[in-house]
Structure formats: C-alpha cells, structure tokens
Structure 1
C-alpha cells in the first residue's frame, strides 16, 4: 500500500520544472493580451480630404509633419463623395476645406468606426481652429497697424497745415471700420454611436462572450459527445444557432450594444460561434484530445489579440492587423460593427471568412480520426494523443 502510494507521488525534481513551465505559460498569456495594446501605433489611417490642389498640398504637408505617418490622406471630389466613403468604411473621416475665402473648413468623423480615431480627428480640427484664429489675429493686427500709420500721417499733415496758417485737410470719407471675422471649424459625426452605447463599450464587450462562448461550446461538445463526428457537427449547429439568438437578444434587446436587424446580428453571432466551436471539435477530430487544447489556445492567445475588436486594424503592427481579419474573432468583430452602423459597407469578406472556418471545422470533425481508430480495434495506449 505504501509502496504504491510512493510510486504515485510526483518526484521532487519535477516541481521546479512544473513551476517554470507554468510561469512561462502565464508569461505567454500576458504577452498575448498586452502586446497589441502596448505596441498600438496608428499607421496609414485612411482619411479623406476635399479641396483645391493647392489647399490639399498645403494641408497634406502639415498633416504629414504632425502625424508622423499615422494618417494617409485620400482625395475626394466633394463632400458627398467623402461621406459616401465613410459610410462604406473606406475612410475613418475626412477634412473638407473651404471653397472660398472666409468659409469655414469641416471635419467629418465616424465615432461608430472608431472612437479613438474620431477623437484624433477632433484634435486635428482643434489645431486647424488654432491656426485660423492665429491668422485672423495677425490680419487684424496688420490692419490696425495700417490704420494707426494713416492716422499719424493725417495728424502730421494737419499740424503742418495749422503751423503754416492753412486750414487742416478734411479726414477721408468712407473709411471702413475694422471688422473681426468669425471662422469656426465644424466637426460633423457622420456615423455616431447609439444613445444606448455612446462610448462603444458595449459593442467592444460583445466580442468577449462570443469568443468564450465558441470556445466553451467546442470544448464541451468534444468532451460530452462521444464517438461520433456527425453527432458533434449537429451539436455544434444546434448550439451555435441557440447561442446566436440568446447573445443577440441580450446584446441588442437588453443592452443596446448592437443595432440594425436582430436576425442578421443573431446569424452573424451564430456563424462566429460555429466557426470557433467547430475549429476546436475539428482539431479534436483530427488529432484527438490534444486538439481541444490546441484549438482553445489558438483562439484565445493568437486569434483574439489580433482581432482588432478594441482598436482599428491600422493600430496593430503590420501585418498582424490584416492577418487578424482572416481569423474568426476578427471577422466577427468587423461584421457586427458593419451590420450595426455601416449598412452600406461590404460585409461579404467577413461572412466568407466565418463560413470557411466553420466549413473546415465541420469537415475535420467528420473525419473523426479517434473514432475510426477505436472502431478498427486500436487502443488508446497505441495512440495516446489521438484516441
């Protein structure tokens, strides 16, 4: 009895190895979640600009100097074209320069696309306002200086006339008074966030239950549904459909985090959960129980941090922001944002990415290598990782 207990005890020399391995795992988790935020640096944010060639050249040079590559200006013919680009998510905002002297420039933003970028553009608008105010102040000072010089000349001429015994000259008629022009930079939010989610926190938070829900579903179905790839596929489909309806109901009906069609939002969430869940069941069907851990780790430590759910794609280091859009969390985040606030935007790519991941996961689940090996009479001892 005692000898059996001794053989089951973990050797002392393994304890440091376990501690080091667990600490490294914690470090990997920390890196996965902190790396995108720590290295977030905007690069080539597409911002529209409308104006004459000279205006665009002048403003573009100033923005290039101040933004350090964060903004990539795209020229549009007029304000309507810039608004259309924003609504189609081809630009985060636009600068509309005045067509005639004295008119005010306008800054177009889209808070629903990214509150961070909208705030950045508001700062640019404030800088423009400061420059305009400085120009107006300089113009007024120059005009006042000219009037003072003219008045001094008139006084000198009058004194000379009096001293020579002549009548002083009459002051000139029709002298224009000094007017102070008012030019205010207008900021227009083309696509604002909803009143129920004014800071966009609900839309961002919607990603967490979707990703976790997909992982939980894939893990639970793999562990609970035994010996049957087809049964697991049916379970994934039923779970994804039900979870899509429930999550969309809570996020849209209760919290107001989602906008637009409830049916489309529910379908998008269901497809996202199916893509994530089937990836886990598919890897389990390909390499056995180890696939559960691989699928969950890939989703949580790789796909989720580069999904650009909380920051724009352009804020992530190249090329990881673009890579994230080819993975289920990134495609789901972009799809839900577009369905809620940008009905004019093209959502075909996001739907396709989720559908391909779901289909690939289903196909691998149906392969069911562990089940085939058990049916062929092979034992778990012969294939410890795949049965």
Structure 2
C-alpha cells in the first residue's frame, strides 16, 4: 500500500505534457523548450495567440507560450492542472531572462475558493472509499442481486446529490452547475459500487478484495488528479485514466470548467465500468433462481 501511494507521487514530473507555442519564432521557442527540459513537453506550433487559447479551451493543451516582440507571454489553465500552470510560468520566466518573469494569463482559471485544485484531489479518495463501503454493505445486507443493483443506483443518486451539495454548495470547489457536479459524482459512485457489488455476486466475497485493490490501491494513486496524468511515469498515467478515480477527476474538470471539452473519453470509461457492474449483477440474478431449487432438492432427506 505504501508503495502504491508514494511511488507515483515521488516520480511526478512533466512527461510529454501537451502545450502549444505561438507567434513569431514559435519553432525557435519549441527548440529552446526541448533543450531546457528534454521530453517534458509535447509541443504544437500554432499561428497566433487566439489559436493557443482555443487549444487550451478545447483541452488539447495545458498551456501555451506566445512569442511577442516584448518577450514571451504565458497562457495557462489552472483549472486543468495548477501544477503544470506553475511550471509553465516558471519556465517561461527563465526563457525570458527577465527578473520579474514573463506576463501570465490564466485562460481557464481554477475556482477562486480552490486555486490550487486541492479540493478535487481531496474528494476523490473519500468518494471511492464510500463507494466501496456501499458495495460491501449491499453484498452482506441484500441477498438479491437485483435489489443490490437497485441499491447501487439509489446510493449513486443520493451520493451524487450529497457530494455536489458539499463540493459546489458549501466548499465552492467547482463553478457548477449543481446538477452537472451531481451527475459526475453519481456516475463515479455507480461505476465503483456497481462493479464491486457485481464482482462479489459473480465470484463471491473475494470480489470485494479485487475491487478494493483495483480502485483504491491502483486507481487512486494513478488518477493524476493532484497534478495531471502526463506527470506520472508512463504508462501509469494512461492506465489511471481507464479506472474510475482518474476518469472521474478528468470528467469533473472537463464538465465544470471547460464546457464539456475533453469529456468524451472519461465519460465512456465510467459508463463502461457501470455497465460491467450491472451486467455482473444481472447475470447473478438470472443464475439465482436455478441455484435455489438445486439447494432445496439437496436438503430433502432420503
């Protein structure tokens, strides 16, 4: 457990982070970036600053460096990753060679009440843990797989509304709207609770351990919510985006800060996990009526 949580965090650094460079001398700026930090950035050159802003808003880039006659200007998106935004700002200042650094514009800013994005990172772990707890409760307290599926759906809806009330209404971690935050949280809860309950119905109580290992010990440290998936060692960042914690973090950022840009892939991941969980519960529900008469027949004395 210690290794699973600490090793990815200790190896966090930029690795092919997508950014753009714009303006006159964009190619020279890209070459200087590669010489300064080899392999840190995947640089795309665009004609003008407006194109760079569009790339950031579409989540094709985490930031941009715009070359101007007065020196480089930095465009960041702290809503996507405050860590990368800070690193780009420091790097552009070094490239400019000016004591006060380069001018910075935050194109898509994080919520003022959570400028470092710490709230999202703090929410993911308890969200996953409560979903695992719900799956355990459903497994032991509800004998019918069909009712477990209904319970998972009910818990997801209520949990999503509760998380949104906390994160959006009280802590103001996201700009909203409320129902969008609730929907993303509910889908993440459903993906974890449904899958773990489905695994338990399919393979027995060992399914609970498999689910906890996958989603808690692997999914949470590989989620990339504290920095960015590209900051993790390859291919761990990509693997983390295929698990509910990472997909939930990316979807929440895309849906609440970027008007849905880049939401397709994480949405598909969460829907796939939720569908897999319900498929396992459905298979267990279909199997249960055949197993019950067999047990009753064995119990009849000769």
TM-score (norm 2): 0.92
Shift of residue 80, structure 1, vs aligned partner: 0.7
Counterpart for residue 32 of structure 2: 62
Counterpart for residue 271 of structure 2: 355
Q: For 2:289 and 2:157, how far apart are their aligned partners in 1?
A: 28
From 47, 53, 72, the counterpart of 1:83: 53
Pairs within 5 Å for 1:90-109: 90-98=60-68, 101=69, 103-109=70-76
Shift of residue 224, structure 1, vs aligned partner: 0.8
From 66, 78, 91, the counterpart of 1:124: 91
Pairs within 5 Å for 1:207-226: 207-226=124-143
Counterpart for residue 23 of structure 2: 51
Shift of residue 35, structure 1, vs aligned partner: 1.7
**Structure 2 runs not aligned, ≥5 long:** 297-302
Residues 281 and 361 in structure 1, CA contact (< 8 A), matched pair in contact too: yes
Q: For 1:362 and 1:96, how far apart are their aligned partners in 2?
A: 49
RMSD: 1.9
Shift of residue 71, structure 1, vs aligned partner: 1.5
Counterpart for residue 42 of structure 2: 72
Residues 78 and 115 in structure 2, CA contact (< 8 A), matched pair in contact too: no
Shift of residue 340, structure 1, vs aligned partner: 2.0
Residues 247 and 270 in structure 2, CA contact (< 8 A), matched pair in contact too: yes
Q: For 2:289 and 2:5, how far apart are their aligned partners in 1?
A: 38
Q: For 1:127 and 1:184, how far apart are their aligned partners in 2?
A: 7
From 28, 34, 44, the counterpart of 2:6: 34
Residues 214 and 273 in structure 1, CA contact (< 8 A), matched pair in contact too: yes
Pairs within 5 Å for 1:244-259: 244-259=160-175
Shift of residue 77, structure 1, vs aligned partner: 1.4
**Structure 1 runs not aligned, ≥5 long:** 1-28, 134-182, 380-387
Shift of residue 84, structure 1, vs aligned partner: 0.7
Q: For 2:55 and 2:7, how far apart are their aligned partners in 1?
A: 31
Shift of residue 378, structure 1, vs aligned partner: 4.0
Counterpart for residue 196 of structure 1: 113
Q: For 1:296 and 1:364, how far apart are their aligned partners in 2?
A: 17
- Segment of structure 1 superposing worse, 105-114 or 270-279: 105-114
* CA deviation profile, 1:334-372 (whole Å, cap 9, x unmatched): 011112211151312222211111111011012227845
> Is the radius of gyration larger for structure 1 or structure 2?
1
TM-score (norm 1): 0.72
Shift of residue 205, structure 1, vs aligned partner: 1.1
Task: Count matched residues.
Answer: 295
Shift of residue 64, structure 1, vs aligned partner: 1.0
Pairs within 5 Å for 1:283-362: 283-343=199-259, 345-362=261-278
